[in-house]
Structures are given as structure tokens and as C-alpha cells.
Structure 1
Amino acid sequence: MEPSNSLERFTDIIKSPTDHRHYAMVRLPNGLRCALVHDPDAQQSTAAVAVAAGHFQDPNDTQGLAHFLEHMLFLGTHKYPEATAYQDFTHQHGGHHNAWTGTEYSSYYCSVDATSFAAALDRFSRFFYEPTFNPEWIAKEVNAIESEFQMKRKDELRRLYQVHKATANPAHPFSKFSVGNFATLTENGDTTGLDHRMREFFATWYRANRMTLVLAGPQSLDELEQLAHQHFSAIVGNGPSASPEQAALYLPEQRAVQLNVRPLKDARRLILAFALPSIDDDYPYKTTSFIAHLLGYEGPGSLYAELHHANLINSLAAGGGISGSNFKDFNLNMQLTAEGLAKTDQIIMAVLGAVERIKNEGLEDWRYRERQVAIANAFRFQEPARTADLAPQLAINMHHYEPHDLIFGDYRMDQLNTTKARELLNLMHVDNLRATLIHREVEVDQHEPIYGTDYQLRPFTEEQKDKWRNAQTKSIQLPAPNPYLHPLSSPLPLEEPISRQPQCYQLAEGLTLWHLQDPDFRAPKAHIYCQFTLPNVTASARHYASARLWCELMIDRLNEDCYDAEIAGLHFNIYPQHYGITLHISGYSQGIVELSKDLLQRMRSTSFSDSRFADIKQKLCVNWQSALANKPLNLLFARLNVLLQPHMYALSDLAEALDTITRASFDAWHEQLFAAVELKLFAHGDLTPNVLKPLTDCASQSFSMQADLQANMPATRDLEQLKHAGKLDARGQLETHHSDHAAMLVIQGPDTSVLQQTNMLLLNQFIQPHLFNELRTRQQLGYLVGSTYMPIEQRPHLLMYVQSSNQQAEHLCDALDEFRQHFLSQFDDRIHDELEQVKGYLIRKLREPDTNLRLRSQRLWSTISPADVSFDRLEQMALELESNTTLFFIKQLAEILATTGHHGYITATPKEL
């Protein structure tokens, strides 16, 4: 078969008008289906493989084998036997890689600099036809799987997921334990038979006809096709064809049941799951998505509004749930109030009544056409994803969609499939319902042994079923026509002179507008940021807790009124930060100014009911008090922010402060919230100053501004001063309710100069794979090992971290310090070539163009938000890398590692209960 200009190539692939890429699909002689993506603007190339084999294919006596195989594939091939060869190569050529194992599919992907793509494929492709499965790594990777399992033992979603499996049909593969651990992968620690079982699994399922491949990058379609033939034709074909599972997901006695689950953290949640057949063949119609829209609607008169106004629920999400080749759970996931916890029967009655109303009145063409308009707008003006992110998604899509729908399949909505809708709605009844109630005080009588979760499965009573079978509702309304929803037109013409950087306008004392009509992303979309610098937010932990409560109350109060705008593509968020409060509005430019005006006015005038105040205060308090059970690394990142940034407060301090806030004291604080305000606006996208004028007028009329409030904010704290104050190097500083230990080495740059930022960014990129290979792969200290670069108010920081289920925090600190010292000893001419490659990658990365409007808005806002605004800092860093020799940076990085005055440790250890 000719590898280029093949007559077998398929190019009739539907794509968005905003998508500049070119697509094609080919099938290799071994049966491997391959999608080719030519992106002329991409600086990197990406390969992604999706295999139709996941934990459903695990043998019953070796559960977790598919996940274990995923780990082992990375650890050497016959041509490249060194365990770290692949990771080292991708890093040295500016790349990254990852993989995951799901129920029926596994995914592998890697990205590297385009010039190194062929060499990367020579390594990546061999995973799928000549892995070594080196026996010396089997025991180590079993330990890695065990470490991953232990790390997630207190993860609430994992615990709930395993109870779900334990209460499903044991003959269905969903019931298998997907992650695996020491007990399932070994025989009392003996790994003797694991090698054979892994090789047998690989030989059976990792066949070309069960795989899809995506190659994407700046190479032409012909070049990509040539690479596919050259590197992937060796994969063996003729594997068993993929076929749907045959066993039912649930036995009859596992339906019409209530499942009680006790979580570790305080929670009140009700999940109603209707057991449906597979919906794979319905993708052209999106029937379940349409039903979810009607049931999950949150506007006035909706199911959500009815239950929310009765103070029974805080949130409702419809349509989620597990799905596979022969099943789909249609979920309604609700967060309950204290009152709702006692009235779950009433909530279930309301949900079943809403289903009946939709069945009788909701299946109307105009409602479906509204969803078509919303989805068509999203597709026509979609913001292109990075090619590196797109490739793994397309590899999975190829298993589910027809070739021409490779991209469009996620958006396709042909027409209302009334027959299918009625079929599904007729299955959404009490005899096909599983109600999961999650709370720490529910009745339980069983213990799930893998994650240690207590639960109870009991059938609905006949009285409940009789009552619910006759559920009707008069009060719940179906959505009215959406006033915000209409087909979108082209963006506004660009105004002269065309600018590529935001322009600053000082509109009044304390009121600044930054504006950029984007010249590149020509779509009717925009982002508006409103940053309120407010001393009454940051003055103390009590003030900040009040602000967080106010933001949650505002969102809760506005969601219902703004839900139609949300459906039409206009979104908002309100959140506190260490300056004050930020309001962010995003979406289609048509209507965004009007929505922003409305939100600004409501920020001054909205009041809250006593019941919502009490419930949201209680919810926040519980979340903050239970935070010590979160992943220790997350707590260390939060702790570091509190240590380094003035006006940031620990969650435990916020919880303590919130507990003292009464309705009267909150109202008194609220009265003074906007007494001193400095407002900074940033408008970006399809907006002109003239279009923005009603918003800026509204801002100046609604708030009394003061100048220079932000300029008086204190600077980032110095690490050395913190050490002298005894706030660092106290090993065991943070006690958690999690069983893992964690340690973090913090290195702070001495100043905010471009050179120091460049040094720290370069050191992080250089050190990452060496740290991972040494502490994670070789020493097996923990599953989570890594480093990250973190600038705070332009002051650069390098963080190196480990989280472990089997090592004490003290030992982790010692291991990090030993690594630092050993790494420092290697800083001579031996590392010159590797560091030179890392430098080149960073220069390209720093100059990489923004891929969509959202990412550009985030980047520009992160520059505008601080008091010190500099739009060319990334270019300055690239120039710094270009203008200095690699030997210069070797000396710079060695000095950073050696100068311990700006080093410090923070650790997390389990609290003795």
C-alpha cells in the first residue's frame, strides 16, 4: 500500500469554520485506523493511541492488570531497554507524555518538538509491539500501583465508585476493582505469575484492529501518513473484535433500591440514577443530553427552583453517570440542605413528577431546536484546543463516531428523536431507580473491604413505590423560550488603529479600564474582568470569611435569574482573592455588556434570606473544617500561599472565624463592604470602547472610587524572614487527617527580576524528569513526585515535592535534600548538551502563540491584575535565554541550588486521632 497520497485516505471530515487544521483518516494494512491532523501553527507534534481494552478485560483473579500493564509499557522496549529512556527523550525534546486506563479503553499520548517527532515515534510506537516487560521492574511497579491505591484510599469519589461496583451485577465486568493493588496483583507478595498474565493480556487485546492512532503536528498530511506506516505497521493485527458486554449491569434486586453510603467528610448528597441501555448509537441525536437539559434546567419555575425555594437542595446536575457498551446510568446529582436530608422521599416524588411532565409536554420540536442553536453556536465559534490536547480526544472519538463525525460527533444534533426520547423516559420510573444517599449518619450494615466504606442496600418499600408511581406535579414548569438564545452573527469590524496589547484608560479616580479588541481570534466572544480592591475583604480572617460567604450567597442568589444566559453561552463567577473580590463574565459578546451591568448593580443591592444564609454558612464551615482530610500536597500548596502572600488565610482560621459570624454581624460588614473601592476593568475580545460605555458608566455610578488602594498592598513575604520567624523547616508543621506524609522543598528567587524568573523557570524544566526518575521510579518513595515553577507577584519560586503512603515526612525531606545536593554535584560540562536542549525548548515555549481567546484573556489578566503591569515579560525571558550562554546558566542554577538561605521545607504528617 502506497504510504502517501493513498486512495484509501478519507478527508470528508466535518470541522468548525474557526478550525484552521486539515484532517484525514487512513487504515494501515494491519487494520490500525489512523487520523492525521496537519496544524501549520503547531510547534510540537503529538501521537495518541486509544486501545479498546481496559479494566473490563481484566481476569477475575488479577484485577487491575490493565492498569498495571499501562505502567509497565513505559519501562523499556527491545530497541530502547533503559527504563527511563522514553521519559528522558520526551523531556529533552520539550515534550510530555501520559496515559490512563478506563473501563473499556486505555489511552496513551506524547508530545515533542516537531523536529524530533520521528525519533519520538520510534520510541512510542514500540510500546505496542516490542515492550520488554523487564522482570526487574515488575515488583517496583506493583509497589507504585499500591502507592497510588493507598494515596486514593480516602478519596470520596473512589470510595463511592467502589461501593457502586460492589452493588452491581457481579457477572458484569463493571464490578471488578479497576485500579488494582498489592493484594489483587500478587499472591501474598509473590509476583511470579504476573509476568505471564500481563504478556497474555497484551497479546490478546493490544492488537492493531482494536487500536486507533492520531498523529498531529505541523507536518503535512503526506508526511504524517508516511510516519504512521513507518512506525506503526509492525503492530500485530487480527485481534478479537470489540463487542458489547452481554450481562446486565444490575440484577433485578439491585434496582428500586436505596443505597446509603457513609463518607469520611461531612456531606449531604442524593444521587438518583435511572438504569438505561447504551446510548452509543444515539450520538447523532443527543437524546439524553436533551432530556438532561429539561430536567436540569435551573431557571424560574424549574425542578431545581422548586426544590431550592423549599430549602431542600443547594444544587442539581442532570445527565451524568457511568456509561458503556451496554449501559448508561442517567443521574440527577443533588446537594441537600439539612431540611432536604430529612425529606428525600419528597425530592424523589418531585423528580419523578418532572419526568412525567417532560414525557407528556416536553417533547416539542421548538425546545430541541433551541438546543440545536446553542450547540451550533458552540461549534461554529468553538475556541480551538491545543493540538496536543485534541489528539487524545480524537483517538477515543474514532471508537465511537463515523469517520466524517470525528470532530463533529460531539456536537451533532440532527433532530428530535421522539421514539428514542419516549423509550428512555419510559425507563425513568421507580422500578428502574437507584437512590444513593450520602451522609455520615445514614444506616449501614455492610462494609466494602477495598476502600473501607460502610454502606447499606435496601429495597424501596411498597408504600414508597406505590406513592412514586403516581407522581404528578403541577407547580414545576418546563423552560420558556430563552430570550438570550439566537444564532450568532460575525464579530464587529476591527477599529483602527489595530492594537495587539491592551490599552489603559484612566476613566476616573480609582476606575481604570484596560481594553483590547482582539485582532486574531475573530469570533463574537469576549471576557470581562472586574477587580474590586477592597480593604474590607482583606483586613482579617473574619473579613475574608465574610467575603467568601458573600460570594457564595451572590452566586446562589443569581444562578436562577441568570440561567437562561448561562444556557445561551454567557457565564459568570464571583470570587475573593488577596486584593478583594473579582467578577469574571465570559461568553458571547452579544449580551455580555448587559449581563455585566446587571451583575454590577446587583452587587450593591442583592439581599439574602435567613435560610440561605444559614445553609451556605454551614456548608462553607463544614468544607473548611474537613479540608485537613484533603490530599496532603494540596494542603501544602495552600499552606505555602498563606505563608508567602499577605491577606491569605488558612482554611482552619477561616472556619474558626466563620463560626463567630452571625447574621447581624454579617449584615453590618456587608454595609461597609464597598465603602472603600478601587476598580480595575479588563475587557477583551469582540468589544469596542463604544460598546463598553454603558458598563463603565454603570460602574462609576454604582461605586464611590478611591485611588491607589492596590498600590498599598504589601509585597510577597521573604522566605528567609519566615525561617527566622520559625515558620519553615519545622518538620511536621502541618498535621492532616490524611494517612499520607508529604514534603515540599521551596526555593525562592531573591528578587522579581527577569533574570531570576528565567533562572527558576529553566531550573524547574531541567530538574523535573531527574527528580521523578530518582524519587518516584528508582527509590519508589511515593506516587506523587514532581516540581513546579510558581511566581507570586512576579517573585519566582521552585517547588519540589513528594507525597508518600510508606515514608515519614522527615525521610522525604532528607531525600529531597540528598537529591538537591547530588544534582548540584553534577553541575559541570556533563550537563551542557541537555541544558542547551531545555533552553531551546523554553525559548520556543515562551514565544508560543496563544491558541484561543480564553487562554489569551487569562494570560493578559494575570499581567494586568497585579499593580506592576508588563506585557513583554515572556519575551524578555526568552531574550535572556538567548543572550546568555549555557555555561552562564549552569553557574546561575548551581548558585540557586547551593544558596540555602532562600530554601525552606514545609511538611504534612497524619494527625494522631
Structure 2
Amino acid sequence: MIKTSKHDKQNYLHFQLDSGLRILVVETPNSNRFAAAVAIKAGHFNDPQDCPGLTHLLEHMLFQGTEVFPSQTHDFMHVVNNCGGRANAWTSQEYMNFYYDVNAQFAEPSLQHFSRFFVCPEFSQEKIEQEVAAIESEFKLKQRDEIRRLNEVHKETCNSEHPFSQFSVGNAETLVDNSFYTIRQRLMEHFEHYFTADNMTLVVSAPFACEESKNLIETYFEDIAVSKSLKSAPLPPLFVAENLAVQIDVRPLKNIKRAIYTFILPSEEPDYSAKSITYLSCLIGHECDGSLYCLLKDAGLANGLTAGCGLDDGESLEFNISVQLTDYGSQNLDKLSERLFAYINTIREIDFAPHIYNEKKKLAEIAFLHMEPAKPIEWVSQLSLKMHQYPIEEVIHGDYQMSGVNRDWLKQALAALTPESLRLVVLTPESKFDHISHYYQTPYRISRLDREDMQKWASARLATPLKLPEPNPYIPDRVEALDSCHADNEPQKLIEENGVTVWFKQDQKFRLPHGHIYVSLDLPNSQGTARKHAMTRLFIEIMMDDVISENYPAEAAGLCYNISPHQGGLTLHFNGYSQKQAAFVSRVLSQLRLRRFTEQNFNQIKQKLLASWRNHQHIKPANALFSQLSCMLQNNQFASDILAQHLSDVEFGEYAEFVVHLFDRVNLEAMIFGDWDMAQAIQIAEDIRKSLYTRSKSAGEVARKVFALQEQEYSYHLTTSHSDVAVINYFQADEVNEYKTALYMLLNQILSPIAFHDLRKEKQLGYMVGSAYFPINLCPGLIIYIQSDNKNIWDIQDNIDDLLEKLPSYFEQLDEEKWSNIQQGLIHQLNEQDTSLRACAQRYWMSIGLKDKNFRRRDKICGWITDIGLEEMIEQAQLIFAKKEYGYKRLVLTSNQDQAINQQLDVVNSFEITRHFQNQCGLVNL
């Protein structure tokens, strides 16, 4: 019997085919989705040594046609799109995972198509060459990814006999034919070796009876290759003696200052149910007063710390303490290391504190008791993987099971937290190096730790008694939801008066002891200039840093909060267990006005924020253009480089004066949603109002503006530090209403697979290619985007123009049946049932933000989607994409690193582009 949570109303059936294939069927009666996933116990670790990336290529190739459904006539992604669904796959170190979903009426034909992936893949030479090119583009796209660059250094400095040391992604250099094999032969052998029934699991989720799903599975998966009883050889050690007691200095591309202390502990995999690592992570990673984090922060050495496990290969486990360094900390690493080991050496000598583990265990039990269901496509993907990791009875419960600390493991783990088993990775822009990694070109240096330093660290002890976390007052006592007594279908207004609106809805659907509270503050004194906006962002960072230790117990007990900037001020979002959330909300709102910061704290957080903004120059070019587009189309939006420029010369006195007046005038809109009754909600609303208006005056909303494209073509160019080229074409609706929203959504449903197939698969312009519905506030829009490593901006734009000119011929291929499927697929997406309290809360809050006060906008959009006929769609598309005498009515943004090309273009900075564009535009009538 599979152990499930009390709110899981789904039925489960586990069985096994004669071939050995293990299967789990999930019956989801309230869904209209059919989803399936297959997990294979083979990943990057199983790549041949002389062909790294082969498993990744195999993942790609299974989507590229089968003997029954050849690629030339039956594209699986296109089929799934036409059935209102989506599909994807991933490859990790030890597993591959393939998954998809469709509207339930397409269950049988889609499952038949999917099943052939694992029986008779086509492996056409043309598609192999195409997907090798796609993997090469993916590799180049991620060459500047700091995690991948650091990971490669990790690979090059571990035991070369361990499969982790291999390059896992693959590229055009590794995926080539050699004198012994063709890539096609290698793919076929790899597939035949690992794609066997005993090495695979299948999970299907459907709205019909389990037996019906079982019959489908038996029909289409009975011919999976019979088990070969694969036996994996024991892995060699991940690290040998020469890989330990070392310091690895790494030079990142970004302005990152971080020290990562990695210790090699015994694997916890044999005793997964204990989760003893949770206790150790809390001892070292908690942020209460007296913690390691506070010890380092108070000394001015660090402004962030996390602790937890990394790779566990079944033999050993990496335990990482990652410290975000201040400038002082990066210059005094020895002081930091001595304090860190003083803390570790002291906790090794203290008695076991059972309340720390028991609190985590209780929270895990509550979390499992009230698990929120995932979307079917996500659920089947997760379960297919868990079937490899846990006994079938624990396939859902396994992640939450905490059977008690394994004291023997904990003793061994604490004993291993020594300089002798340490790998210290130091990332700073100033790092010295004498190696450059092979694939990602990461500069690094590896050296032995100094013996005298190691002896000093080994004997270090804290000067004051160690303070462990106290029993957590925020652990909930009530773990059941309240009786539902307020049955409004949509949120209702509790307060509506000058400058204050508060909404409330008691949850009746999910029946969880959870809640979400959103508090949006429009702050007129934060508006008007980039400098004010920058200081508002700094205020958020300083405030969050100031209250970390105070609020850590609440966060550890599942009361999460976040403060984020928006166009008119800032938003606070609280979520977690409802019983003690109201008191926590009042606490945080009162903390907003305390302004307990010093000049030292101001300078440290300011430099941290400046570094973060300046690092934006290293983001992907396409993402930089998305950000630039948002700044151009809205008021009160500023690019990161502009914010950094203004904040850089802000002094402490100016900032302190700004903060004094930041909350002088406030416009408040809030929503209380979840496990509260009306009386409780009224009290929470009043507490929120009192917390904010004791010393503030009410104000009107800050105006949100969207700039309207005129009858012309706009073109702007940005420089970038990235070698890739990026191009975005943006098309904007000429009216703001539900009809135009439906029209642009439908247009993207048609355009998205066409753009992907034409621009990425056929012309191979890059890995990051496609189209997207791109609304700004209420204004509908659509973008076509390409980031390329092999084309210049003119070639890319010519290909986009060519696609636009060919669109009428694509539309002519649509018939009424295909059109109906597109309409119904989009309607199903929009009407997809909320699978979690969080998703429901986000939907209501987004509606409030869009001024959908009756919560009927989605229904109206779906009504228009149904009503728009194919001929009308074609006619409107021709108007939107019509080429006029001046060109297209669109905004074109491009970026390039090549100085020769930049000299040919009118290159100005982000602020000048935004100002020039907005001066030429009108305003959208919202």
C-alpha cells in the first residue's frame, strides 16, 4: 500500500509487466489532463569515457522520430502542441526523465507515440547532425554560466577515475565519429544497453479508472526490451588524498566573492529515512543569535551563509558551507577560516540536542500530512524518479520520512569536519590562476593548504559559550484547517476607504492550515527618479539583512516572507502555516519602520547590491533585451546599470534622510487568503492598517503607464560582454481589452511551434529561440526572440522577416479541426484547475493587480477565444504582421559584442534608449 497524505484524493495502482517494467498509475478524477513519464537509471555517469555527452544526445534523439512515427511526418512536439499539451526531458548524473501531457481525449494516440521512444527510435543521420548542432548551441549558450564554470573546476580537481570527472553536456568536439564507431552506432548501443525494462519506470496520470490506464499501458509498452539484469560496478572514491586538504582559487566572470568549505562525509544513502544531515545542516547553517553566520557577520567577514549536502554518490557525501564574503572577508580569509573551525570544533564537543531534529521531523510530518498536489505532468515526472530511489510504499512519503538521527553516522560526520578532509574553493575576481579549464575556460589554481594553518584551525575554539537555537515558538500547534464558514466564491473587500483596500477569502478547496497574505505599498516618495528607485531597492536589502536573525525561527517553522520592489513601491508576501502567521506579519510590518542600520551596514549592503547590479552585464543577451524592453515600455522602470550608476555616489546621510520620509505617504492594497475565518481576517486587516498608518498619511495609487508604439518601426542596439548575438521583435496590440488579449494569445499558440521549427530546428539559428505572449500590464503583446552563436544581427533579422512573410502560407495549412484544437488547447491552459493553495493565491492576487475586481477577466478571454473564427484570426494576423512602406509596426532590439558592428550602429546606453523611445511614443489607454 502506497502511503499518501490525507488530502491526496487520487487513486494509485502499482503493477509490473512480464518484461520487468515497473509501472504506477494515478487516477485523477478532477483533472482533464493525461500525463506520462518514463525514468531511466542511466545518466552522465554512464557516458563512454571517449564520448562524453552521449547520454545527453540520446535524450535529444528520442524526440526526433521513431520507426513507427518517422521524424519527417510525425513530430512528437508538434503532435503534443496540437493536443493542448507540452513535453520535455532532462538528463542528470544518474537518471534520464521523459514526460509529457495532453488533453485527456488524446490519451491513447499520444501514449502510443510516446511508447515508441523506448522501443524503436529512428536515429536518422540528418537528425543526429541537427541535434549535435543544437547541443553545441546549448553548450555555447551556457559557457558563461558561473555554476557550470565552477562545476568544471570541481570535475578537473576530483578523482579522474570517478565518472563525475567527465564532461557531461557534450558538444561538437566530443560528439563526433571516430575510427571505431559512428555516433549512430554509439547511440544504438547505448540505447540497447540501458533502455531495458528492469532499468526503467513508467508513471501515467489520467482522469479515468486505473484499469483503463493499465490496459493502455499493456497494449503499448509490452514490447519494451526484456531485462538484462544490469549490474553497476562500485564507484571509485569521488576524492582521493591528493584532492583533499586543498585550496582552489577560481576567477569568476562576475564580481563574486564567496568561499565554499566542502567536507567529505560518509554517504547517507543507505539510511535515507534518517535524514541525519538535516540536524547537521541546522547546527551549522541556522541564523539565530549565536550562529556561525552571526559570528562571521558581526566580525564584518560575511553577509550570507548556507550549509547543506551536495553530491551523494552512495559512497561519500559532499557537505558544503558556502559563505558570501564582504570585501574585508575576502581580504582576511584566514580569520574567517579560524572562526569557522572554532565553531565546528565546539559543536563537535557538545551534547546532542534532540529538539532541533524533532522540530524538523514534526514540520516534515505536517508538510506530508498537508501535501499540496502537483500538476499531473510534474507529478508523473517526480514519481517516476522516486520509484528508483524508494520502496514503492514510500514513493510519495520517502522525501518526508525522518525516522530518527543515526547517531553513528552523525559521529562519523562530525569527526570528518576537519582541515584534512576539506576542499576550500575561493571565488574572487582577483584570484590568481595557473590552470584554465578545458571546456568552459575557467581560470583556477589548486594548492595544498598550509600545514601551520591547518593545525591552527584544528585547535581553534570559540571564546564564548556556544548558543544553539532555542525551541522554536513558531512551530504550529494546530495542524488541521478551520471549519469553512465564509463561502464566497471570490475574494471580497474587507476595507475600502481612502488609500486602503484589503481583500479576503477563506479557502474552501484545499482545506490546509496554510495562508497567503500579500501587502502592496505604493510609496510616492520612492518615485520620480532612478536615484530614488535605487535607494528604495537598497532599503529592501538593508531591511532584509537587518532582521535575518530575528525572523529565522519563523522561516525555519515554515513562515516565509519576501519583500520585492514593484513599479510603484514594494510588495510583501507572507505564506506558511496560518496559526501564527498574523502575529508574524505584524512583526515584520513594524520592522519596516525601525530603520536599525549603521553606516558600516549601509556600506556593506550597498556594495553587495552594486555588485549584483553590475553583474547584470554578464546575463544572457536575450535576457538583457527582455529587461530593456520592460524598461522601455513602462514608467518607473530602470535598468541595472542605471541604478548602479545612481547608487554608487549615494552617501549615508542622503540615504538616512530618504528613508525617514519613505513611508510618509502610503497607498495600501492587501489580500488575506487561506485558513482564516472572517473575524480573524478583520483583525489581521486592522493590524496591517495600524502598522502602516500610525505615522503615515494615505495617498493615491502611483500611476502605471505603458508606452504605445506609433505607426513606425523602432530599432535600438545594445552592446554586451557576451559573444552571442540577440534579437527581439516586439509587436503591440493597438487596444487593451479581452478581445485583443485572446487574439494575441491565439496568435502565439500558432506562431510558437512554427518559430521553433523554422528558426531553431530547420535553420539552427541558436538554442534560445522562439515566440512568446508578452503582456505589459494589461496591454497584450507578442515577441519573437533569438540568441545565436553563429549568425550576425542582420542574418537573424532577415530570417525573422522571412518567417513573417511566410506566415500566410502557414495559416493556409490550418483547417477547422486544427483550429478548434488550438482554441481548446489554449482554453484548457487558461482554465487549468489550481493544484495548490499557492497557485490559487497567485491567481487572485494577479487579478487584483490587473484591476480585475470581479475576477471575470479569464472567463471573458476564454469566451473570445471560442468566438474568434479561423478566417477572422487570419485577417487579424495579416493586419498585425503587415509590412507597410516604413516596414513593420514593431520594436526591434538587438545586442552584439563585436565592436566593428557596434561602430556601424547608433549605440547609446540603456537610459538614452529608453528616453528616446518614450519621447516618441504615446500612452496606452489602460
Is this a same-fold pair by TM over 0.5?
yes
Contact 1:742 1:908 in 2 (8 A): yes
1:831/1:684 Cα in 2 relative to 1: closer, same or farther (>3 Å)?
A: same
Alignment partner of 2:297 out of 291, 308, 312: 308
2:176 is matched with which residue? 186
Unaligned runs of 5+ in 2: 901-926
Q: Given residue 739 of structure 2, which amino acid in structure 1 is its aligned partner?
A: L
Worse-superposed segment, 880-889 or 836-845: 880-889
Secondary structure of the residue aligned to 2:398 is helix
Could you state the TM-score of these two structures normalised by the residue count of structure 1? 0.95
Match runs of 1:851-870 below 5 Å: 851-867=835-851, 869-870=853-854
Higher alpha-carbon deviation: 686-695 or 452-461: 686-695
**CA deviation map 1:675-705 (0-9, x unaligned):** 2211111111112342134443344333256
- CA deviations on 1:358-388 (whole Å, 9 max, x unpaired) are 3332523332211111111111122221121
Residues 674/682 of structure 1: CA separation in 2 closer, same or farther (3 Å cut) = same
2:742 aligned with 1:755: no
Q: Report what 2:517 is aligned to.
A: 528
For 1:109, the equivalent position in structure 2 comes to 99
Say if 1:869 and 1:790 are closer, same or farther in 2 by CA, change over 3 A. Answer: farther
Question: Match of 2:384, SS?
Answer: helix
AA of the residue aligned to 2:164: F
| 1:143-169 CA-partner distances (Å, limit 9, x unpaired) | 111111111111100100001000011
Q: How many residues align?
A: 893
CA deviations over 1:451-477 (Å, ceiling 9, x no partner): 111111111111012112223224442
1:525/1:587 contact within 8 Å kept: yes
Aligned residue type for 1:906: L
Matching residue within 76, 82, 85 for 1:86: 76
Structure 1 distance, partners of 2:777, 2:436, is 49
1:849 maps to 2:833: yes
Shift of residue 707 of structure 1? 5.7
Map 1:806-817 to 2 at 5 A.
806-817=790-801
Separation in 1, partners of 2:836, 2:46:
39
Task: For 1:151 and 1:242, locate their aligned partners in 2 and report how far apart those are by CA, in whole Å.
Answer: 36
Within 1, Cα distance between the matches of 2:44 and 2:735?
50
Residue 585 (1) aligns with residue 585 (2): no
**How far 1:911 sits from its partner (Å)?**
5.4
Contact 1:742 1:801 in 2 (8 A): yes
Q: Which of 275, 285, 310 is equivalent to 2:274?
A: 285
Q: Is the 8 A contact 1:245 1:325 kept in 2?
A: no
Q: Which residue of 2 aligns with 1:3?
A: none
1:709 aligned partner: 700
Contact 1:303 1:477 in 2 (8 A): no
1:638 has 2:622 as partner: no
CA distance in 2, matches of 1:101, 1:292: 28
2:562 counterpart SS class? strand
Residues 420 and 487 of structure 1: is their aligned pair in 2 closer, same or farther, counting only changes over 3 Å?
A: farther
Query: Is residue 275–residue 427 contact of structure 1 (8 Å, CA) maintained in 2?
Result: yes
Paired with 1:323 and 1:42, the residues of 2 have a C-alpha distance of 37
Residues 317-364 of structure 1: CA distance to partner in whole angstroms, max 9, x if unpaired? 111322223332111111111111123223333333333333332523
2:453 match: 464
Structure 1 CA distance for aligned equivalents of residues 508 and 810 of structure 2: 47
For residues 716-737 of structure 1, the C-alpha deviation after alignment (integer angstroms, 9 at most, x for no partner) is 111227x67xxx323xx11111
5 Å-filtered alignment, 1:357-756, equals 357-361=346-350, 363-473=352-462, 474-496=464-486, 498-701=487-690, 702-703=692-693, 709-710=700-701, 713-720=703-710, 728-730=714-716, 733-756=717-740
Aligned residue for 2:550, secondary structure, equals coil
CA deviation after TM superposition for structure 1 residue 592, in Å? 1.0
> Residue 687 and residue 790 in structure 1: after superposition, are their counterparts in 2 closer, same or farther (change >3 A)?
farther
2:758 is the alignment partner of 1:774: yes
Conserved? CA contact 2:3–2:396, under 8 Å: yes
Partner of 1:904: 891
Listed one character per residue, the Cα deviations across residues 19-66 of structure 1 (whole Å, up to 9, x for unaligned) are 121122211111111111111122211111111111111111111111
SS at match of 2:802: helix
Of 190, 194, 208, the residue aligned with 2:197 is 208
**SS of 2:803's equivalent?**
helix
C-alpha contact 2:53 2:168 (8 A) present in aligned 1: yes
The CA distance in 1 between the partners of 2:482 and 2:822, in whole Å, is 42
2:332 alignment partner AA: K
8 Å contact kept, 2:366–2:479: no
Inter-partner Cα distance in structure 2 for 1:115 and 1:472: 67
Distance (Å, rounded) in 1 between the aligned partners of 2:265 and 2:34: 40
CA separation of 1:444 and 1:389: change in aligned 2, threshold 3 A: same
Q: What is the CA–CA distance in structure 2 between the aligned matches of 1:511 and 1:688, rounded to whole Å?
A: 21
Tell me the amino acid that sits aligned with residue 319 of structure 1.
G
Deviation string for 1:211-257 (max 9, x for gaps)?
11111121211122222222222111223525364311112110011
Cα distance in 2, alignment partners of residues 650 and 246 from structure 1 = 48
User: 3-state SS of the aligned residue for 1:861?
Assistant: helix
Aligned partners of 1:425 and 1:824: how far apart in 2? 68
Q: What is the alpha-carbon distance in structure 1 between the residues aligned to residue 60 and residue 140 of structure 2?
A: 17
1:36 aligns with 2:25: yes
Query: Which whole-Å CA distance do the structure 2 matches of 1:865 and 1:244 have between them?
Result: 56
The equivalences for 1:783-802 within 5 A come to 783-802=767-786
Amino acid at match of 2:754: H
Q: Which amino acid aligns with 2:700?
A: L
Separation in 2, partners of 1:245, 1:512: 63
Q: Work out the CA distance in 2 between the residues paired with 1:226 and 1:73.
A: 24
Moved more, 321-330 or 174-183: 321-330
Distance of 2:840 and 2:252 partners within structure 1 = 40
Q: Is the 8 A contact 2:276 2:404 kept in 1?
A: no
Give the secondary-structure state (helix, strand or coil) at the position aligned to 1:45: strand
User: Quick one: structure 1 residues 635 and 870, their matched pair in 2 at CA, closer, same or farther if it must change by over 3 Å?
Assistant: farther
| Aligned 8 A contact 1:747 1:799 in 2 | yes
Give CA-to-partner distance per residue, 1:890-911, whole Å, 9 cap, x none.
3333333337764221112125
Partners of 1:244 and 1:396 lie apart in 2 by 21
1:235 and 2:224 equivalent? yes
Contact 2:504/2:681 (CA < 8 Å) preserved in 1?
A: no
Q: State the Cα RMSD in Å.
A: 1.9
User: More deviation in 903-912 or 633-642?
Assistant: 903-912
State how far apart, in whole Å, the 2-side matches of 1:320 and 1:634 are.
Answer: 31
Cross-structure match for 1:255? 244
Q: CA shift at 1:749, angstroms?
A: 1.1
Task: State how far apart, in whole Å, the 2-side matches of 1:255 and 1:34 are.
Answer: 43
Is the 1:358–1:478 contact (alpha carbons within 8 Å) kept by the matching residues of 2?
A: no
Residue 281 of structure 2 corresponds to residue 295 of structure 1: no
Query: What amino acid maps onto 2:111 in structure 1?
Result: L
Per the alignment, residue 5 of structure 1 pairs with none
Q: Any residues of structure 2 matched to 1:311-322 within 5 Å, and which?
A: 311-322=300-311
Structure 1 CA distance for aligned equivalents of residues 770 and 478 of structure 2: 44
Aligned 8 A contact 2:177 2:183 in 1: no
Partner of 1:836: 820
- Alignment partner of 1:441: what SS? coil
Judge conservation of contact 1:280–1:400 (CA < 8 Å) in 2: no
Contact preservation (8 Å) 2:270, 2:314: no
* CA-CA distance at 1:92 after TM superposition: 0.3
Of 130, 154, 171, the residue aligned with 1:140 is: 130
Secondary structure at the aligned position of 2:184 is classed as helix
Q: Alpha carbons of 1:362 and 1:230: their partners in 2 closer, same or farther (altered >3 Å)?
A: farther
State the identity as a percent.
Answer: 34
Given that 1:277 and 1:326 are in contact with CA atoms closer than 8 Å, whether structure 2 keeps it comes out as yes
Q: Alpha-carbon deviation of 1:652?
A: 1.1
